[in-house]
Each structure stands twice: as structure tokens, then as C-alpha cells.
């Protein structure tokens, strides 16, 4: 059967949609990658069927991607799409051997997470003026909780009043995979949270949910609103490129490790499933040591 988009890609996309239940965005990404691959194959080779696609053809395509300066991360995504595609074709008995079996994925370049300098964080909470009233207090508490606890944006939005344990000065967070973790909080943050809860009662009608943080209309916070709040205030105190809620999570973890916190403890606070995900913060510490060494050592 000749190579055509309709015959060979559409059934696979339907499989992703109805059996794997992938999102529309993911399916579109697969489609674009496969379209690009098959266009290359048909333009440069003359296979009459999928079974005639050789590993050498795929390596040529990958070499072209590298020549076009695509990142290792992007190339690996395309390789992953091809592996899924040919695995599906194996199950459909359209091929007997996958040409992806001998394809090696390039190593992703390790990207150090950006973070806000500790002095800039101090400036944020000591010198930046927040708006008066309920909205200003909500924005200030968003920033404080994100930085003082290192929780994710989604975890922040899902926080409930009953997750705050004032007696033990802790908060209970529901993380990825519905895994709960307990995070200690300092007395300053606990006081701010308790004052905010009283402020809600004075400024808002009885909300229909137990969410800790609410909008002026008494609704759960919108993720875009949280992002915009963080970006607005980080713009005032730092010049780093990224200014998202996740940057405050990176800052939390980096400042802990730079100040001597054990990596396993940071792992538990962040809710990472493995230590490997946390180890990236030790690289920031190493980079800092390298910088100090270069500046201070006479033979550096």
C-alpha cells in the first residue's frame, strides 16, 4: 500500500484520540511531527510501503533537524512520536520490525533553573508596596506562600483553609498523583494566613468553597491571574527572563540548598518522587562555587 497521509497517519491519530485519550494539543504535535517526517521520506526516498523505511532514512532526517539547529529536547520529542507511530504499525501488522529499534536519542542539555536572588526576594517583601485592601493582601499572600513553601501554582490554587494547621505551623498540600505532603511554615507566614482568613470574612460573602485564597468576587483564583500577579511583582525586583510562579519554586529550592539544606529534605518539601529531579538544584550551588573560585583564586 503506497505511503499516504490518509492511510498511514489518520488511523494512528484516531487511536491516540479515542484509545489513548491524548489531548488535542498533543495529537496536533504528533501530527505535525509525522507529517514532517513522511514529507522528508517521500521527497528523498522511494519506499512503496512503511516496511521499506530503513533506519538510515530516519537518521538522515534527524541529521537534517540537527543542521537546522533544533534542540535535543525537540528532536527527542519527534523521536518519541516516531517510536509510538511505528509501535502502533507493528500492532497493526503493517510492519514486522520497527526502524526505530536502533535509533539513539540525543542527550538533552541540562538547563539550570532560573531563580530570584535572595536579596531581591528580601526587597520584594520589605520594600515593595502592595495595594491596600483585600486584593493587595491576596496578591502579597500569593507571593509569600509560593516562595516560603515552594509549592506549585496548581497546589496553591487548591489550598483549603482546613489545610492550615496553626498548632503545628504546617500546611498540607495535595500534589501530583494526589500525593499529600506536609510543609512547615514560619510564624510570619502563619500570622499572614490567619489575618487573611479574618479579612475574607469581613470583605466577602460566605464563599461556596473552603479555598484559602479567593478573588474579590469570592471565587477560586484563576491560574492566569496567579501568573500575572507573580510576573507583575517580580518585574519590580529582578531582571531574570522568566517571571512565573515556578520561578519562586526554583528560588525556594535553590536558596535552601545554597544555605546548607539536605537534598533529601528539599526533595520531600518539593514533593518530588525521586532525588534525581531535585539534584538539579545542586548544580546551581556548584555554579556559584565556580564563580567564587574564578573571582577569588589567583590561579583561576
Q: What is the pLDDT along the chain (300 residues), one digit of tens a residue?
A: 455 544 578 899 999 999 999 888 899 999 999 999 999 998 999 888 888 999 999 999 999 999 999 988 899 999 999 999 999 999 999 899 999 999 988 887 667 789 999 999 999 999 999 998 999 999 999 999 999 999 999 999 999 999 999 999 999 999 887 899 999 999 999 999 999 999 998 888 776 678 999 999 999 999 999 999 999 999 999 999 999 999 999 999 999 998 889 999 999 999 998 888 888 887 767 666 677 667 776 765
Task: Report the C-alpha gap between 255 and 15 in whole angstroms.
Answer: 45
Q: Which of 160, 231, 246, 283 is catalytic?
A: 246
Does 122 participate in catalysis according to the annotation? no
DSSP letters, 193-236, are: HHHHHHHHHHHSPPPSS-BSSB-TTSPBPPHHHHHHHHHHHHHH
| pLDDT score for 1 | 41
Residue 128 contacts residue 102 (beta carbons within 8 Å): no
Dihedral angle at the C-alpha atoms of 246, 247, 252, 258, nearest 10 degrees? 140
Does 249 participate in catalysis according to the annotation? yes
Radius of gyration of the chain (CA): 25
Q: What is the pTM of this model?
A: 0.64
Does 127 participate in catalysis according to the annotation? no
Does 246 participate in catalysis according to the annotation? yes
Could you tell me the domains of the chain?
Answer: 5-91 (1.10.150), 118-296 (1.10.443.10)
Dihedral angle at the C-alpha atoms of 241, 272, 190, 229, nearest 10 degrees? 30
Rounded to 5°, the CA angle 177-178-184 comes to: 115
Does 91 participate in catalysis according to the annotation? no
Does 272 participate in catalysis according to the annotation? yes
- What is each CA distance from 116 to 6, 108, 113, 119, 246, in whole angstroms? 50, 24, 10, 8, 11
Q: Which of 78, 152, 153, 255 is catalytic?
A: 152
| pLDDT score for 297 | 67
Q: How many CB atoms lie within 10 A of CB 87?
A: 14
Q: Which of 85, 148, 196, 281 is catalytic?
A: 281
Q: Which of 54, 176, 191, 288 is catalytic?
A: 176
Task: Report the C-alpha gap between 61 and 171 in whole angstroms.
Answer: 50
Q: Which helix (H) or strand (E) holds 264?
A: helix 263-270
Q: Which of 249, 250, 255, 267 is catalytic?
A: 249
Q: Which of 17, 87, 172, 272 is catalytic?
A: 272
Residue 214 contacts residue 220 (beta carbons within 8 Å): yes
| pLDDT score for 109 | 67
Amino acid at each position: 500500500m503506497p505511503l499516504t497521509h490518509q492511510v498511514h497517519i489518520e488511523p494512528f491519530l484516531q487511536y491516540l484520540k479515542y484509545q489513548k485519550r491524548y489531548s488535542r494539543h498533543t495529537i496536533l504535535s504528533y501530527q505535525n511531527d509525522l507529517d514532517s517526517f513522511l514529507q522528508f521520506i517521500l521527497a528523498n526516498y522511494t519506499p512503496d510501503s512503511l516496511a521499506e523505511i530503513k533506519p538510515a532514512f530516519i537518521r538522515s532526517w534527524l541529521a537534517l533537524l540537527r543542521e537546522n539547529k533544533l534542540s535535543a529536547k525537540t528532536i527527542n520529542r519527534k523521536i518519541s512520536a516516531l517510536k509510538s507511530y511505528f509501535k502502533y504499525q507493528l500492532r497493526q501488522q503493517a510492519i514486522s520490525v520497527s526502524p526505530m529499534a536502533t535509533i539513539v536519542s540525543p542527550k538533552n542539555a541540562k538547563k539550570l533553573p532560573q531563580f530570584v536572588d535572595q536579596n531581591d526576594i528580601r526587597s520584594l517583601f520589605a520594600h515593595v508596596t502592595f495595594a491596600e485592601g483585600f486584593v493587595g493582601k491576596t496578591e502579597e499572600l500569593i507571593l509569600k506562600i509560593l516562595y516560603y513553601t515552594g509549592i506549585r501554582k496548581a497546589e496553591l490554587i487548591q489550598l483549603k483553609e482546613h489545610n492550615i494547621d496553626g498548632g503545628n505551623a504546617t500546611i498540607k498540600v495535595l500534589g501530583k498523583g494526589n500525593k499529600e505532603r506536609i510543609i512547615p511554615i514560619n510564624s510570619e507566614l502563619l500570622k499572614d494566613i490567619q489575618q487573611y482568613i479574618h479579612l475574607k470574612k469581613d470583605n466577602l460573602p460566605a464563599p461556596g468553597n473552603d479555598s484559602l485564597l479567593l478573588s474579590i468576587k469570592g471565587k477560586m483564583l484563576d491560574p492566569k491571574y496567579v501568573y500575572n500577579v507573580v510576573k507583575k511583582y517580580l518585574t519590580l525586583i529582578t531582571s531574570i527572563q522568566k517571571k512565573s510562579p515556578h520561578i519562586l519554586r526554583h528560588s525556594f529550592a535553590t536558596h535552601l540548598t545554597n544555605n546548607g539544606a539536605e537534598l533529601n529534605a528539599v526533595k520531600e518539601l518539593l514533593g518530588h518522587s525521586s532525588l534525581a529531579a531535585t539534584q538539579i538544584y545542586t548544580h546551581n550551588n556548584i555554579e556559584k562555587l565556580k564563580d567564587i573560585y574564578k573571582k577569588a583564586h589567583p590561579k583561576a
